[in-house]
Amino acid sequence: MSDEQTGGKSHMSDAAITIEGLRKTYRGGKGQPEKQALKGIDLTIPRGSVFGLLGPNGAGKSTMINILAGLVVKSAGHVSIWGFDQDKHPRQSRAAIGVMPQELNLDPFFTPRGALEVQAGLYGVPKAQRRSDEILELVGLSDKAEAYARTLSGGMRRRLLLAKALVHHPKILVLDEPTAGVDIELRQMLWTNVHKLNDQGMTIILTTHYLEEAQEMCDEIAIINHGQKIAQDSTANLLSRMDSRTMVIVPDSPIVDLPTTDGVEAALRDDGSLELNYRSAQTTAEQVLEAVRAANIRIRDVRTEEADLEDVFLALTAARADDPPADDHDQPRRGMHRVKL
């Protein structure tokens, strides 16, 4: 059966987006060499998931999102969105996806309600099927429905961007760094709405500056670096790749001698607690405690610390540190609690 007979549906009906061999090369200007932004990426995003797309600045995330949105033409590869081949059925594939961009690209002379009505018209949504007021209520802009966009605060403008991405009832919502520079109230509102939309069956694709958000929100994560996919797995499996563990002992009295045993690194923290680093595949927690007892350290309290997504991200991207950078000025910042992606 042909794509036309099936409405353009691909065989991967359980995938929201299927990407195969995606490449994008930008021509160099004024004697500069070509730049390969994407170097043959394969990626499958499950329907109904909250999917994280992470990578350092210049990794190719924005290029990929713009290709999905139909704003950038790919150099090679295949893209299927909600089962519609992007090349054979561009209109249907674009209608299946809504994008909340990072940039505040709003017409200052439209009201929020007017902006949604214009956006719905551009997507060919019949007036009877438009739900501008419902969407404005969802994002908390009902009381600003008739205010000019130029009078809205930065947070309200971000809410309006989310509303515009929802006017054509997309199956997939892309949030491109949605919480960059926003306050706590807006961040909480956004994540509440994301959970609500996802519970209703919408697939969410998230890029974010904040790895703790990705760890908390995403079912599955792909990490790209220098235009290549370097990892894709469930969030739980990615975290399990980091075998390192840290046990922190609060002693009853000041420690004189550090415990010593194979596979365990011991150090005193500034607050007087004992930090013991080990790999769970080689050393058990019981062996660590035995070494502590052998050093005559009495334990007042004990806790363990495990790797978080920041550790996984840094380990995976550091493994490619010898590769040529995508942009000389666009490198990941390391050693920070908040990692800029």
Average pLDDT along the chain: 85
Residue span(s) of the chain under CATH 3.30.70 come to: 243-306
Is the per-residue pLDDT at 322 higher than 60? no
Determine the Cα–Cα distance for residues 52 and 67; give it in Å rounded to an integer.
17
pTM: 0.74
pLDDT tens digits for range 145-191: 999 888 888 888 889 999 999 999 999 999 998 887 777 888 888 89
DSSP 17-28: EEEEEEEEEEPP
- Measured over the CA atoms of residue 320, residue 65, residue 221 and residue 184, the dihedral's sign is positive
| CATH code of domain 243-306 | 3.30.70
Nearest CA to 36 out of 91, 74, 71 is that of 74
Per-residue model confidence (pLDDT) at position 15: 95
Is the per-residue pLDDT at 306 higher than 90? no
pLDDT tens digits for range 59-102: 899 999 999 999 999 999 999 999 999 999 999 999 999 999 98
Per-residue model confidence (pLDDT) at position 10: 39
CATH architecture designation of domain 15-96+170-238: 3-Layer(aba) Sandwich (3.40)
Determine the Cα–Cα distance for residues 198 and 192; give it in Å rounded to an integer.
10
Nearest CA to 272 out of 296, 308, 301 is that of 301
pLDDT tens digits for range 210-229: 788 888 899 999 999 889 99
Q: Which has the minimum average pLDDT: 29-38, 128-137, 295-304, 313-322?
A: 313-322
Residue span(s) of the chain under CATH 3.40.50.300 come to: 15-96+170-238
Nearest CA to 169 out of 102, 82, 96, 252 is that of 96
Is the per-residue pLDDT at 7 higher than 90? no
Determine the Cα–Cα distance for residues 99 and 72; give it in Å rounded to an integer.
14
Tokens of 142: 């009902």
**HSE value, Cβ hemisphere, 13 Å, CA-based, for 25:** 11
The phi, psi pair for 130, rounded to 5°, reads -80, 145
Per-residue model confidence (pLDDT) at position 336: 29
Per-residue pLDDT, averaged over 250-267, amounts to 92
Determine the Cα–Cα distance for residues 156 and 149; give it in Å rounded to an integer.
9
3-state secondary structure of 296: coil
Q: For the range 58-63, what are the long-range contacts, defined as Cβ-Cβ under 8 Å and sequence gap of 24 or more?
A: 58/325, 58/326, 58/327, 58/330, 58/331, 59/224, 59/225, 59/226, 59/227, 59/326, 60/24, 60/224, 60/226, 60/227, 60/326, 61/207, 61/224, 61/341, 62/176, 63/24, 63/37, 63/38
The one-character DSSP state at 166 is H
* 37 and 25 Cβ atoms separated by less than 8 Å: yes
